[in-house]
Structure 1
Amino acid sequence: MIFDNHHLYTDRAQNHLQICHLTDLLYSKSTDNMVLNSVSSVIEDTLFISRDPAKEAQGYYILSPDADEALTLETIDDLIINHLSESGRIKDGKKFKYLMESYTRAQNIRKRLKRQLEKETDVKLTLDKLDQLIVGYGLILFLVSDFACEDDRASTPLPMIQILDGNADQYNQFLYAIIKQSIEEGSTFEFVENFFNSLVLCVSNELGTTFNISQSKTYNSVLTLYEMFLSFKEVAEIFTQIESFFGEEVYSKGSIAYWEKYTILGPILQLSPLEYHETMDNYQSFAGQKAFVKQTDLKILNESLQNQHNIILQRLFGIIDRLFRISSKSREDVLSYFAQIVNKNHLRRGEADIDPAKTELTSDATMANITVILIKFTQPFLDISYKKIDKIDINYFNNVNLFLDLSNETRINSDYKEAEQFYDQNKKQNGEDIKPNFISDCFFLTLTYLHYGIGGVLLRDEKNSPILKRMEAEYERMRNLQQQRATDANPFMKNILKIQLQKIEDEMAKFQSWKYSFQSFFSNRAIQSEVFDFVCGASTFLIRVIDPSHQYPFKQLNLPLIPDQIGVENVDNADYLRAHAPVPFKYYPEFIVEGLINYTFYISRYTNSPVIDHGSRLNSFVEFTTVILRCPEVISNPHLKGKMVQLLSMGSYKLNEVTPGFMMSIFENNELVSKNLLYALLDFYVIVEKTGSSSQFYDKFNSRYAISIILEEIYQTIPKYKQQLYLQAKNDPDFFTRFVARMLNDLTFLLDEGLTNLTEVHKINLELENINRNSTTATTPVTPEHIEDLKRKLISAEKQAKSSCGLSAKSMALFELFTGDIPRSFVTPEIVGRLAGMLNYNLESLVGPKCGELKVKDPEQYSFNPKELLKAVCTVYINLADQDDFVAAVARDTRSFKEELFKKAVFILGRRTGLVSDQFCARLLNFGKAAQTQKEQEEQEDIELGDVPDEFLDPLMYTIMVDPVTLPTSHVNIDRSTIKAHLLSDSTDPFNRSPLKLDEVIPNDDLREKIQAFIKEKRQKTK
C-alpha cells in the first residue's frame, strides 16, 4: 500500500514549470556559455549533430570528415532523415524521443536568441525550418509505422511507449505542435486515429503496462493527452468518427467487457478505486484474517482515494463535456456509446456470479464513473429552481430512434403488449422524424445508469456481505477442526486442513477487500451528494409525469388521483387500479423508479449519507414516496413500495432522546406530505396483504412494521395526524375496519409465533443443559448428530422468536394508542370477537400456568419484554372496558377467559413490578369482574335456550345467527358479521372458494324471523 501515489496531483502551471526545467537541462549540455550566431551552430545544437570530435562526450553525433552533409539551411531535411533512418545512429527505437528533444532545444534557442532573431534573418529561417521538419517527422512517425519502428517490432507503437515510459509531460509541447501540423496538412483524422489506437493498446495491459489510479504519473499524463487533443476543435469534431470509438469490431470478438479495454474512451473511464486490481492493491493488506485493521489508517487511505477519484471524475467530465459541446454529431455519438454499454449490461442487476474478476460484463468502475459523469450533466436542468424541467419530454419513450433498449423491461403498471400498442399509436401521431432533445436523452440515460450502473455496484455489495459472513463461519469451523486435530498423528490430514484454511483465508481477503472498496465509494460524500441531488430532481420530474396536468412543481398536486370511495373490495384490485393508472407514467420502464428507490434505500445505511442532512431537496423525494403510496394505481410493484415505507421509517426514527427523525419536519410542514401521508400509510398497510410472490404471507410483516414505526411517531408528535386518523375512522368505517382487521391478523399471528418459539427456545436449552449435566453419568450417551440437530433447531427458534417478538411489539404499541383514542373502531361485529380471543389467549400465555415456559436467558436479545407486553395487553382491555360489545366478546371466549388471570396480572404489574398505578389495577380488576358477570349471564341464557337447531347456528362460529344471509354460489346460510369478517382477509366464498363480494350476499329474512321466534319462545317458557 503506497499512500504517496495518492498525493501526486499537480496543476497545469506546475507541470509547465517541470517541462521548462527539463528542457533547460537538455539545452545546457550544449549551449551554456556559447554564443549562437550562425546557421550551422543552430543546426548543430538543435539536432545534436557536429563535425567537432570534442563534442562527442556531450552526446553529439559526430559526422565523419568525408561526409557530404553540410550544416546548412538547404541540408536540414537530409540531415534529419539520414539521422533517423541510418541504422545505428538512434538506437532502441528512440526516434520520437530524439525529435522531441531536438524540438525542445530549438525552442530554448529561440528564447535565448529572441533579440538576435530580429536581426539574424538566416537564423530565424533556420529555426523555422527546423521546427517544421522536426514536427513533420514527428507526425510521420505516427502515420508510417515502418518509419516509426525497428524492423523486428513493426507492429509496436513505439512513439506511444516512449511517451508513457518517460515523463509524458515533457512531450506535450511537441505533441501540441504535431497536432497543429496535422491540421495544417489535412492529416488530422489519420494521425488522431493512429495516436489513440496506439495509446489504447499501451494502457490496455496488452504490452505489460499497468494503468490504474495507483500509477498516478501515467494516468495523469494520459488524461492530459486527451484534454490537449480535444482542446483543438478540429480534433474534437472528428474524435467520435474514429473506428475504434465504438469498437464494434473489437466487441464482436468477445464480451461487453472488451469495450472498456479497447475503445478510445474505455481505459480512462475505468479509472476508479473500484477497479478490480486497484481494489486488491489497496485493501488486501487490511483484509487478511490475521491482520489488525487500524481504522485510522483505513480512513486515511479512503480519504486519499476519494479525493483522487473526485479529481479524476472532474477531468473525465471535462473530456466528455468537450465532445458534447463540439457538435450535435459528436454529442449523439457519445450518448450512443454510453447507451450501447448500458443496453448490454442489464445482467448487472441479476448476475449470479459476483466476482468482478470473472464477470464478462462491464466493470463496476466504468459503470459507476459513467453514472456520475452523466449526473453532472443533469445538474443544470434539475437544479432546485426547476426552471428547465419542462425541457425533459414526459413522452420520451413514445419517440422513435431512442438510444435505450426497452425490449425486455418490465413496465410500471402495464404489460409489454399494452405499452407497445400505446407507443405505436403515439409514434404515428407524432411522425417518424421527431427526435428527443439532448436534455431528455441525457436525463433518461442517467436514470438507466443509476439502476444498472451504480445500482449494479450496490447489488454486488449486498450479495457480497452474506457470502463473506458464510466464509467467516466456515473459517471458524475449519479452525476449530484444526485445533481438535492438533494431536492427530496423520500429517496428510493436517496438510489438507492447512491448505483448505489458506484457500478460505485468501477468498475472505478478496471479498473483504471489495467490501472496503464499496464502503469507500459509497461514503464519498462529494459523489453521493451529487447522486442524491439527481434522485431528488428526478423525483420531482416523475411527480410531474404522474400529475394529470403535468404542471407540478409549479402547480400543487391534489391527491388522491382517483376517489378513495371505490369499495372495500377494490382497495387491492389490481385490474381496477391498472385501468386507472396515469398515462404515460404507467408505460415507463420500472427501472426508472426502481433505481431511485434502491439507491436511496441503500445509501441511507451510511452515517454520512446525503439523505440524512440534505436540506430542502429531501422534500422532493419524500413527496414522491407519498404520491406513490397514496395512489395505489400508480405503481403495481409492492416490493418497491415496501422499500419506500422502510425509508420513511428510517426518517421517522428519533436520532436521540430529544432530536426527532430527519424526515419529521417534512412530515409536519410539507403540505403535500402532511395532507396525504397518513392515508397513504393506511392504504398500503391494507394493500400489502398481497404481494404476488410465493412468500407474500411473510413479505407483509416488514412493510407493516415500518408503517407502524411511522404511525406511532407521527401520531404521538404531530397533532394533525391524530385528527386525521379520527376522521378516517369516522368517515370511512368500512376501510378502517379492514385496516384494523389486518392489524389484528398480524398481531395474532406474530404473538403466537413469538411466544411459541420462545417456548421452543426454553425447552431446547433445558435439554442441552441436561445433556451437559449428565454427559458423564448417562448410561446411553447422546450422539453428536442429535446435539447438532438440537443446536440447529435452537438457532432457528431464536431467529423466529426475535423477528416475531420485535414485529409484534410495534403492532401492540399501535393497538394501545388507537384503542385509547378511537375505541369504537375496535368493537365492530367483524372485529370484536377475534380481538377479545387474541387478548385472552395472550393474557393466559403471559400469566397462566405455562408462563414459566417463556423464561429464557437474556430475553432482550429476542426483543421480548414480558412485563411490557403484559402491560400493553392489559392497557387494551382498559381502553375498551366501556364498550359493552367488547366486554361480551371477552366473556364469550370459552377457550381462554378466566377472571383469575386478571387478578394475577394485577399482582405482577402492580405489586411485584410497580409498572402501573393503583387506578390502573382497579380498572383492570373491575373489567375482569364485569366480564365474569357477563359470562355467567350468557351461560344462563344458553341453558334457557336448550338445544338449538343446527340451521340456526353459524356454520363457522357455531353461535346463534343474528343477521343470517345466504351465499350466492354455495347457498350456505351464515351470519352477516361472520362473512363480513372473512371477506376482510379473503374475497372468496369460504365453502367453495369462488369470488365473493359483500354486496352479493342475499339477506335471509325468513330464517332471521324463525331464529327470533325460537329465542322468544324459549325465553317465555323459562319465565
Structure 2
Amino acid sequence: MSGWVSAWLQGKSEGDEESKADGFQAGGNTLSDGAAPATADEIRRKRLQKLQEQQLAGQQAVSSNESTANPKDDVIMSNPDASSPQADKKQRIHALTAETYINDMLQRVLHVTLSPANSSAELLLLPQFLAQEEAQDVLLLSAANVSEVLYSRVIMNPADLPGGTHHPLAAVAYLEQVFYRCRDETQKLQSTFLRLPADKKQEAQESLNSIREMCLNYSATALTDPEIFPFEAGTINTDALEKIVRLQANPQTPEFVDGIVAVVEETGATLPIFAPIFQKLLSELFLIAPPSLMSSFYNNMYILTVLCRNKALATVFTQIPGFLLTPGPPMTGRRLQDATALGILLRFSCNQDPAIAQMFTNITKRTKNDVDNSILTIRNKLDSVQTAVADIITLLLKAGGSAREQVLAWLEQAMQVNAERAKENPDANITSTNGMFVNLTVVLLKLCGPFLAPNSKKAQLIKTAYLTTQNPLFPFDETRLVGSGAENAAPQLDDRQALSSSDFNFITRCYFITARAMHLGPVGMMGQYMRLLRQLSYFQSRMNAPDADPRLKAHFDQMATAKMVMDAELLHPDLLHEMIRFSLLTCGVVSSICTGSTAFDQSSLDLPLPAPDTETNALLKYIPEHLVDDLSSVLKFIARLQPKALAAFELKKLLRMILVFLSSPGYVHSPHLRAKMSEVLFHIFLPSEESEERETAGTAFGVELLRTDALAQRHLAPCLLALYGDVEHTGFYEKLEHRYNIACLLKYLWKLEGHKPAFLRISEDRENFVKFAHGLMNHINSLVTDALIALPEIKVLQEEMQDVARWMALDESVREQKQSLLSDKERTVTSSLQLANETIHMMSYLTSEIQEPFVKMPELEDRLVGMLNSVIVKLTGPRGVELKVNNPEQYKFRPKVMLKEIVETLLHFAQYPSFLEAVATNGFYDGPVFRKCAHIVARTQLLEPSDIPKFETFVVEVEKAAEGAANLEETLGEIPEEFLDPLVFTLMKDPVLLPSGYTMDRSCITQHLMNDQSDPFTRVPLTVDQLQPNTDLKTKIEQWVQEQQQKHAAK
C-alpha cells in the first residue's frame, strides 16, 4: 500500500506520511510491548501496517517472478529464433497479451477499470489513476497496484458509485462479491484450455489470493472500526453482513463469513458482530404466533444451522443474552420455552395450532386415506423442526468448551423448571407444551443414538454414580425404587454427594437427561392419550343412543381431532423406535446396578438376588422408581397401539430385568410396578392366540425367548404365582386386570414342557404357596359371587325392558336410571366372569398335578372345599334358574365350562379321605345339589366318558362321609366350651396359643392371618410363627372325644 493510502487512513497529508514512512516501517509493531491494553488508534495502526507489509511482500514477489522469468519455459512464447528483432517483437506481443489477461481478470473481479476506454456500467473508472495513465502508454491492473485500486474503490463516496446515495453498496457487500468472484476466476485459471505462461498463472493466482485476504481484512475493519471508512455511516456494514448471512445459507459454510470470523476472532470482536444477527433471527421466530408447524420458520433455522457449523460462531450463539433462562421469577417451563434461544426453536409443534386442527375437521366424515395423508404431512413438518434443532444442538456440542457446557446447562435447566410436568395433572400455564417436550425428547434420542445400539461399548461409559450426586435432574425427594416402607420414602434431607454434573462425561449426562425428558414428556402424554381413548369410547357409546344430545357430537369431534394430533406426534414410527432402544438400554443399566455386573454381562445371573444392602451398594437407594416405571409404560403403550414397532427387537435385556425384579421383590417395593411388569410380559411375550379377550403383540422374538430362556424356565412361573397374591394391594379394578394377565401367562407357561417343573417346585415352598393359593381361592369366591349376584338382577331388568308396554309407561328419567343400572351391572359381570373363567381354569390345571399341599395344610383344604362347594351350589342349586339371562356369552358367562372345571378339580382330590370328609362337613355342602350336579354332568357329557362314573362315585363317597360326620356329631353331643374355637365355634383339632393368651384352632387362625396379619381379639400384629401349640389342651380334646365314642358304643 502506498504512503498516501496510509496517510488517508490516519487522517494525515501525503507529505506528512512520506516524511515518516521510514520510521513507520522500521519500527515494526507500533503497539507497546507492555501489559497496557491497546487503544483503538493503535489497533487500527497495527492493521494498516499489516496490510502495508502484505502489499510490499506481494510487490516483491511479483518483481522476483519478473526478474527470473524465462520465456523459453512458456509454450506460447517459445521460439528457437528468439535473438532476432522479429522474435523480440513477438515476445513483447505475447507478454502484453498475458498482462492484458491479468488486467481483464482483475477488472472482472473488482468491477473497476483504469482505462477510460473500458469504462462501462459494469466497470467503474477510478479517476485518481488517470494522471498515471497519461504518463504511461497503457495503465493496466496488476499485482503491483491491485491493493491501491481495491482500497480506492472501497472508500469511494457513494455519490460516485452506480446507484448513488439512494442505493449505496456497503463496503462489506462489495468485498463479499469480490471475494467470490476471485473464487470463480481461480477456477478459470485451473482450466486446461487457458494458454497462459506458468509464471503469469502464478502471478494471477497470487493476485487473487491477495485480494481475497484484503477483502476479509477490510471487511473486518469495516465491521469493527467503521469510522475508518469515511462514507460508511450507521449500521450499513452490519446490515450488509446480516444480508450476506441470510443469502449465503447453503450446504457449505460460507467461506467469506468463515474468513471474517477468523480475522475478528483474534481481536475478540466475534460476539458483538454476530450476536445481533443471532438475536434477530431468533426474534423473528419468536414473533411467529402461534408457533405453527405450517409457518415459515425453516429458513431461519437453516441459517442458524449454517452459522453454527463454525465453532467460533457456535460459541457466540451460546453466549447471547437469553441463551439460558436468567434467574428470577417466574422460573417456569413456559418462560423457558418463550424466552430462551433453544426453547424458541423447539416450541414449533402441533399444540393449539388452528391450521393443524383444521386438517381434522368433520373427522367422522373423512376417509382413512385422507386422515393418514394429514398425519403424514404433520410428521414431515415435525421431522423438519426436529432435524434442524438436532443439527444445531449437535453443532453446539461439537464446538466443545463453554459451548458444550452451556447446552448441557440449558438441557438440565429445562428439566428443572418443568418439574411440574411430573404430576398427573400438571398446570399447563407454567409448563412447556407437550409439543415442545416431544421435540426435545426426539432431539435427545438422536444425541443418544451412538450408544443405543445393542452391546454398544459406548454405553458402558454411563456412570451410574451420577445418581448419588446432587444433580439437577432428579429431585432428592423423588420416589426411590429399592426399599420398603420408610426405607423408600423420600428423605427429609438431601444426603447425596455434592458433586457437579460437569464432573461426569457427556454420555452419562446425555443418558440421564434423556431419561428425565422421557418421564416429563412422552410418558406423561401416553397417560393422557389412554384417558382420551376411554373418553372417546364413552362419548361414542352415548352418541349412538336414540335421544343423544347433539352437543355430544361437537365434543366428540373436538376430542377426535386431539387424538389425531397426538397420533401424529406421539405415534411417530421414528420416535417409537428410538424410545424402544432407549428403554432396552435402561433395562441393562438398572439391572447392572442391582446385580453388580455390567449392563451386558448377565450370563451367570443367579436368582433370586440377595436382599438389597444399601450399605455395601449405596447406589441402590438412589435409583428413581420412574426409570423402571417409564420403560414399562413405554413398552406396554407401544405393544398395545403399535405392536409392529417391536417386531425387530431382541428382548433379552427386558426379560432379564423383569425376572430380576419379580424374583427379588425387595428391589422393587411397589406392587403396582411389579404388576406393570406382568403387563409388559402379557402384551409383548404372550402369543396373541393365548388371550381370548385382549390382543397381545406376541412378537416372534419375545415368544421364542419366553419359551426357551433357561432363566425364565426356572423362575418365571413361581414369580407370577407369587405376584398373583401381591396384586391384591393394587386396587379393586386394577387387581382384576393384573390377575387376568397373570392367569393367561400361567396358562400358557403350563403348556410349555420347559416351564412345568417350576410350577411343581413352588408347591414345596409352603409359605409362598399358601399365600398364592389363598389369594387364588379368595379371588374365585369374590368374582363368582359378584357375577352370580348381578346376573339375576340383569335378568329382571331385561325382562322388564322386553315388556314394551310397561317399559314405555315408565317415566323417562326412570328408564334412563334403569338403563344406566343395567349398563353398570353388565360391565361388572363381564369383567368378573372374564377373570373368573381364567382363575377357575388355573385352579383346575394346577390341581391336576399339585394336590398334596392342599390336603396336608388344613387351612388350604378347608378354603378349597368351601370355594368349590359354593360354586356348585350357585350353579346347580335351587336358584340356578335365576342365572339364565339373554345372550350369556355377551357377559362371558359359560356355566357348563365353569361347572366342568369345578368338577374336574374335585376329582383331582377324590383319592384323599380327608378331602372327602372336608367336602362333607363344609357348610356349603348340600347332598341333593351334588346328586343333581352328577345328573347334569352325565346328561350333558361335560366330562370325558371315563370320568363321569368317577364323579358319581365321588358323590356317593361324600354322602357316606357326611353321614359319618353327622353320626360323630351325634356321638359327641354337647361340646365343652373350652374345646370350641372361639371364632367359628367348632371342635378344635389342633389348638394353638396366641401371644394374647387366647387359644384357637390352627386352621382357623391361619386362614384369618392370610387376610389380616393381626390378633383377632386384640388387633395386635400377629404372624404364624408366633403361634404356640397347646399340647395339653389337644390331649384333653382327644381324650374327651375317645371317651364320648366309648360311651356311645356302650349304648
> Does 1:286 find its partner at 2:369?
no
Q: Which has the higher contact order (CA 8 A, sep 6+)?
A: 1
Inter-partner Cα distance in structure 2 for 1:837 and 1:996: 25
Inter-partner Cα distance in structure 2 for 1:435 and 1:862: 61
Inter-partner Cα distance in structure 1 for 2:815 and 2:732: 32
**Helix, strand or coil for the counterpart of 2:1000?**
strand
Inter-partner Cα distance in structure 2 for 1:318 and 1:933: 84
Letter in 2 for 1:370: L
Contact 1:525–1:608 (8 Å) recurs in 2:
no
> Does 1:597 find its partner at 2:632?
yes
> Does 1:276 find its partner at 2:351?
yes
Inter-partner Cα distance in structure 2 for 1:96 and 1:511: 58
Contact 2:220–2:264 (8 Å) recurs in 1:
no
Match of 1:363 in 2: 433
Inter-partner Cα distance in structure 2 for 1:432 and 1:164: 39
Q: Against the structure 1 CA distance between its residues 37 and 831, is the aligned structure 2 distance closer, same or farther, given a 3 Å change threshold?
A: same
Aligned length: 909
> Which stretch of the first structure deviates more once superposed, 622-631 or 507-516?
507-516
- Residue of 436, 452, 475 corresponding to 2:520: 452
Q: Against the structure 1 CA distance between its residues 785 and 302, is the aligned structure 2 distance closer, same or farther, given a 3 Å change threshold?
A: closer
What percent identity do the matched residue pairs reach? 23
Deviation of 1:744 after TM superposition, in Å, equals 0.6
Deviation of 1:328 after TM superposition, in Å, equals 4.0
- Residue of 307, 311, 323 corresponding to 1:233: 311
Residues 256-285 of structure 1: CA deviation (Å, up to 9, x unaligned): 2232333222233345xx53155x534543
Q: Which runs of 5+ in 1 are unaligned?
A: 1-33, 65-69, 483-500, 564-576
Letter in 1 for 2:402: K
Residues 925-963 of structure 1: CA deviation (Å, up to 9, x unaligned): 211111111111211221222222222222223321111
Match of 2:839 in 1: 811
- Residue of 982, 985, 1003 corresponding to 2:1008: 982
Q: Against the structure 1 CA distance between its residues 360 and 422, is the aligned structure 2 distance closer, same or farther, given a 3 Å change threshold?
A: closer
Letter in 1 for 2:284: C
Q: Against the structure 1 CA distance between its residues 883 and 160, is the aligned structure 2 distance closer, same or farther, given a 3 Å change threshold?
A: farther
- Residue of 937, 941, 946 corresponding to 2:968: 941
Inter-partner Cα distance in structure 1 for 2:841 and 2:205: 97
Inter-partner Cα distance in structure 1 for 2:124 and 2:931: 112
> Which stretch of the first structure deviates more once superposed, 100-109 or 933-942?
100-109
Q: Against the structure 1 CA distance between its residues 990 and 82, is the aligned structure 2 distance closer, same or farther, given a 3 Å change threshold?
A: farther
Inter-partner Cα distance in structure 1 for 2:969 and 2:151: 130
Match of 1:727 in 2: 761
Q: Against the structure 1 CA distance between its residues 193 and 908, is the aligned structure 2 distance closer, same or farther, given a 3 Å change threshold?
A: farther
Match of 2:1028 in 1: 1002
Deviation of 1:684 after TM superposition, in Å, equals 2.1
> Does 1:898 find its partner at 2:937?
no
- Residue of 553, 557, 572 corresponding to 1:524: 572
Contact 2:332–2:430 (8 Å) recurs in 1:
yes
> What is the TM-score normalised by the length of structure 2?
0.77
Deviation of 1:743 after TM superposition, in Å, equals 0.7
Residues 651-689 of structure 1: CA deviation (Å, up to 9, x unaligned): 343234899764332223323333221222223223333
Match of 1:825 in 2: 853
Alpha-carbon RMSD across the aligned residues, in angstroms, is 4.4
- Residue of 406, 424, 427 corresponding to 2:475: 406
Match of 1:299 in 2: 372
Inter-partner Cα distance in structure 2 for 1:978 and 1:173: 89
Contact 2:992–2:1001 (8 Å) recurs in 1:
yes
Inter-partner Cα distance in structure 2 for 1:96 and 1:360: 48
Contact 2:591–2:660 (8 Å) recurs in 1:
yes
Contact 2:907–2:954 (8 Å) recurs in 1:
yes
Q: Against the structure 1 CA distance between its residues 193 and 44, is the aligned structure 2 distance closer, same or farther, given a 3 Å change threshold?
A: same
Deviation of 1:342 after TM superposition, in Å, equals 1.0
Deviation of 1:198 after TM superposition, in Å, equals 0.7
Deviation of 1:80 after TM superposition, in Å, equals 7.1
Inter-partner Cα distance in structure 1 for 2:737 and 2:456: 36
Matches within 5 A, 1:153-552: 175=257, 179=261, 182-183=264-265, 186-205=268-287, 212-215=292-295, 218-248=296-326, 252=329, 255-271=332-348, 274-277=349-352, 280-282=354-356, 284-289=358-363, 291-303=364-376, 305-306=378-379, 309-310=382-383, 313-350=386-423, 352=425, 359-399=429-469, 402-414=471-483, 424=495, 435-469=503-537, 472=540, 480-481=548-549, 501=551, 508-548=556-596
Match of 2:743 in 1: 708
> Does 1:654 find its partner at 2:687?
yes
- Residue of 147, 151, 157 corresponding to 2:234: 147
- Residue of 908, 913, 934 corresponding to 1:884: 913
Contact 1:705–1:810 (8 Å) recurs in 2:
yes
Inter-partner Cα distance in structure 2 for 1:43 and 1:80: 16
Inter-partner Cα distance in structure 1 for 2:759 and 2:979: 38
Inter-partner Cα distance in structure 1 for 2:797 and 2:576: 48
Inter-partner Cα distance in structure 2 for 1:733 and 1:74: 98
Contact 2:800–2:807 (8 Å) recurs in 1:
no
Q: Against the structure 1 CA distance between its residues 45 and 881, is the aligned structure 2 distance closer, same or farther, given a 3 Å change threshold?
A: farther
Deviation of 1:548 after TM superposition, in Å, equals 4.3
Deviation of 1:850 after TM superposition, in Å, equals 1.7
Letter in 1 for 2:350: E
Letter in 2 for 1:363: T
Match of 1:690 in 2: 729
Contact 1:200–1:263 (8 Å) recurs in 2:
no
Residues 801-856 of structure 1: CA deviation (Å, up to 9, x unaligned): 11111111111111011111112223330022222222222112222222222222
Match of 1:7 in 2: none
**Helix, strand or coil for the counterpart of 1:974?**
strand
Inter-partner Cα distance in structure 2 for 1:104 and 1:479: 77
Q: Against the structure 1 CA distance between its residues 1012 and 159, is the aligned structure 2 distance closer, same or farther, given a 3 Å change threshold?
A: same
Q: Which runs of 5+ in 2 are unaligned?
A: 1-100, 128-132, 134-147, 692-696
**Helix, strand or coil for the counterpart of 2:661?**
helix
Contact 1:96–1:162 (8 Å) recurs in 2:
no
Deviation of 1:749 after TM superposition, in Å, equals 0.6
Match of 1:845 in 2: 874
Larger Cα-atom Rg:
2
Deviation of 1:425 after TM superposition, in Å, equals 7.9
Inter-partner Cα distance in structure 2 for 1:120 and 1:550: 64
Inter-partner Cα distance in structure 1 for 2:800 and 2:385: 62
- Residue of 975, 996, 999 corresponding to 1:973: 999
**Helix, strand or coil for the counterpart of 1:916?**
coil
Residues 8-60 of structure 1: CA deviation (Å, up to 9, x unaligned): xxxxxxxxxxxxxxxxxxxxxxxxxx9994977866689xxx999x97xx9x9
Match of 1:743 in 2: 776
Inter-partner Cα distance in structure 2 for 1:698 and 1:113: 80
Residues 760-779 of structure 1: CA deviation (Å, up to 9, x unaligned): 21122223333x33257xxx
Q: Against the structure 1 CA distance between its residues 120 and 201, is the aligned structure 2 distance closer, same or farther, given a 3 Å change threshold?
A: same
Q: Against the structure 1 CA distance between its residues 774 and 129, is the aligned structure 2 distance closer, same or farther, given a 3 Å change threshold?
A: same
Letter in 2 for 1:411: R
Match of 2:12 in 1: none
Deviation of 1:1009 after TM superposition, in Å, equals 2.6
Inter-partner Cα distance in structure 1 for 2:489 and 2:540: 49
Q: Against the structure 1 CA distance between its residues 140 and 852, is the aligned structure 2 distance closer, same or farther, given a 3 Å change threshold?
A: farther
**Helix, strand or coil for the counterpart of 1:444?**
helix
Deviation of 1:139 after TM superposition, in Å, equals 8.6
**Helix, strand or coil for the counterpart of 1:245?**
coil
Match of 2:674 in 1: 641
Match of 1:621 in 2: 654
Residues 151-184 of structure 1: CA deviation (Å, up to 9, x unaligned): xxx9xx9986998799988996765565456446
Inter-partner Cα distance in structure 1 for 2:666 and 2:597: 17
Inter-partner Cα distance in structure 2 for 1:700 and 1:81: 84
Contact 1:528–1:609 (8 Å) recurs in 2:
no
Match of 2:76 in 1: none
Deviation of 1:227 after TM superposition, in Å, equals 2.8
Contact 2:172–2:222 (8 Å) recurs in 1:
no
- Residue of 166, 170, 182 corresponding to 1:89: 166
